[in-house]
Amino acid sequence: MVHAVYPGSFDPVTLGHMDIVCRAAKMFDKVTVAVARNYNKPSGYFNPEERAELITRCTSEMPNVHVDLCDGLLADYVRRIGANVVVKGLRAMSDFEQEFQQALINRTLNPDMETLFIASSVEHMYLSSSMVKQVGALGGDIRNFVPPQVREDIIKRILSKA
């Protein structure tokens, strides 16, 4: 069985994230969406448990997708849950440099772990959680950027923080 982990902060989950989850679910026997704390952005709009719950709602009809919380080193987490692949979505070449560096570090920490890069679908290449929060906080319509199952929760939270 090939078990993949798709890690991220997902604050909030976007249609771009869901595109990668759906595509990974078709490639692997099991996909764990690992909701991690982003140490570069300590204060999020949603806490990790809330983010995991939002993604769980979005993946409820995907039997091979599981959502979990991940804290600490990704290489250790992957080893602990018995996964063997990490999936990373790439929007642009600018993403590749940082993701490639992380993949090399993770491979050094866990030689049994492979990283697979999935290019974002064209319609989601510009999309990021940061942009969704910014557009929403400034009163823009984010309906085309976030999954319908959690859209209202995300809009309410963004407006409450604006």
Rg (CA), the chain: 15
- List the catalytic residue out of 88, 124, 129, 133: 129
Active site residue 91: yes
* CB atoms closer than 10 angstroms to residue 54: 24
- List the catalytic residue out of 91, 121, 128, 151: 91
Q: What is the CATH number of the domain that holds 41?
A: 3.40.50.620
State residue 41's pLDDT score.
Answer: 66
* Res. 42 pLDDT band, cuts 50 70 90: low
pLDDT digits (tens, 9 = 90+) for 51-79: 999 999 999 999 999 999 998 999 999 99
Active site residue 17: yes
* Identity of the amino acid at 141: D
- List the catalytic residue out of 41, 143, 156, 161: 41
CA-angle at 57, arms to 114 and 123, nearest 5°: 65
Active site residue 66: no
Find the domain containing 129 and state its range: 3-161
* Res. 161 pLDDT band, cuts 50 70 90: confident
**Whole-angstrom distance, CA of residue 60 vs CA of residue 46:** 20
pLDDT digits (tens, 9 = 90+) for 117-153: 999 999 999 999 999 999 999 999 999 999 999 999 9
Active site residue 43: no
The H or E element spanning position 134 is helix 129-137
Counting the structural domains of the chain, the total is 1
